[in-house]
Amino acid sequence: MRKTIAYSIANITQFKKAALQWSQQFDEVTWLDSNNHTSKYSSFDALLAVDGLTAFVTDAKNAFHDFKEYQNTTKDWLFGYVSYDLKNDVEHLSSSNLDNLHFPELYFYQPKKIIKIVGGTAEFIYLNMVDDEIEKDFTAISSLVLEEDKNEVSQDIKIKMRIFKDEYFRKVNKMLAYIQRGDIYEANFCQEFYAENTEIKPLKVFNKLNAISEAPFATFLKVQDKYVLSASPERYLKKTGNTLLSQPIKGTAKRSKNAAEDKELKDHLSQDEKERAENIMIVDLVRNDLSKSATKGSVKVEELCKVYSFEQVHQMVSTVTAEISSEKNVVEVLKETFPMGSMTGAPKVSAMEIIEELESFKRGLYSGAVGYITPEQDFDFNVIIRSILFNATEKYVSYAVGGAITAKAIPEKEYEECLIKAKAMRQVLESR
């Protein structure tokens, strides 16, 4: 059982920064920030969960089955992540590429303390065992002196590419050969950028990344010595009552500081036949995934190929909804739709096999999802893209970017799109 006390907050921006800084004392931290991207699909402005009472950690083998048991047992708020390599639990697949991050493949915990920020109010939702600490914690956050973000975020950092441009072209051309042969229609091909023997200051890195990106699904996740610092613009899947909502992204264009040129870039993206074709293919895949859980005839496309503007890029987003039975288990819904279509391809299993063959790193949490499940069986998960992953013990920093390869793909343009997507992460890590 939990106790909830709500406080009116005069300066929400200040309070959010203070709450995240205060959270750093705990081994488990999940911070989800909408960055004021409010819509009819929003549930909060920010959500913070810290200090696990119980936790469930596993590799891919029987992951969803065992996680379902844990979720049914706790019947409480759960925060955590599912990594891309849980594909091996969903299908007869494997992951053998290089992994220097060593994140568990699934990690969820039951937090003792949750702070939910909506409008000008902060709700402290604490387990009864710690509810006597609510007032003390509210006072501590409210009176916290914020650390300066001007200091360096890392030591001298040397970012390396896992594959170089020529090899990228060779691999994309091989993927195009699979497409021309009819094995797949589309696949998301990704590459890793990394730094070894490197220490960063995770909170400072996140604050800088969040400041320049202001993404609607920003995430700071800390699990002991492992961190996810995410400026994700994409929602994987949300459940509210009996309604499912997925918002896949396919289609990217750079921004311009010149207003007229920026509008031209946005308009060009909205009319780009290749980008629209990529998006529509993934929408069809998402519709098929949702139909596994949905009641018959309930899957609908609410928005198709709508262009949204973010700080760094324009993105083409579609919105797909479905209705499910109230008896349907939430973990089963996740399993039936995972991994998300925007990060795999079509047909899905063939695309994942080819991705595993051609990519040079194990995706792990990249292109997985971070989110939460409520006691009422609602949930919301993002897609981990535009994200920096850090293993503090291994001193290893990684970020990956990718894009959809279709029959019309031009390797040089796909490579340029990758660099556009990588710009914010590189800028933050190299900033002094």
Catalytic residue among 28, 234, 359, 417: 234
Spell out the residues 6+ positions from residue 27 whose beta carbon is closer than 8 angstroms to its own.
51, 52, 222, 223, 224
113, 116, 250, 335: the catalytic one is: 250
Distances (CA, A) of 308 to 134, 159, 275: 39, 30, 14
Report the number of secondary-structure helices (H) and strands (E) in the chain: 11, 20
- In this structure, what token pair is assigned to residue 63? 């992951």
Distances (CA, A) of 79 to 103, 116, 166, 375: 16, 13, 41, 11
- What are the tokens at 28? 């488990």
List Cβ neighbours of 171 (8 Å cut-off, separation of 6 or more).
163, 189, 358, 359
DSSP codes of every residue in 361-407: S--TTTTSEEEEE-TTS-EEEE---SEEEEETTTTEEEEEEEEEE-T
Residues 364 and 183: their CA atoms lie apart, in Å, by: 25
3-state helix, strand, coil in the chain (%, to 5): 35, 35, 30
Known active-site residue 87: no
128: which residues sit within 8 A by CB, 6+ positions away?
Answer: 1, 2, 3
| CA–CA distance, 261 with 202 (Å, rounded to integer) | 35
Whether 234 is catalytic: yes
Point out the residues that are catalytic.
Answer: 234, 250
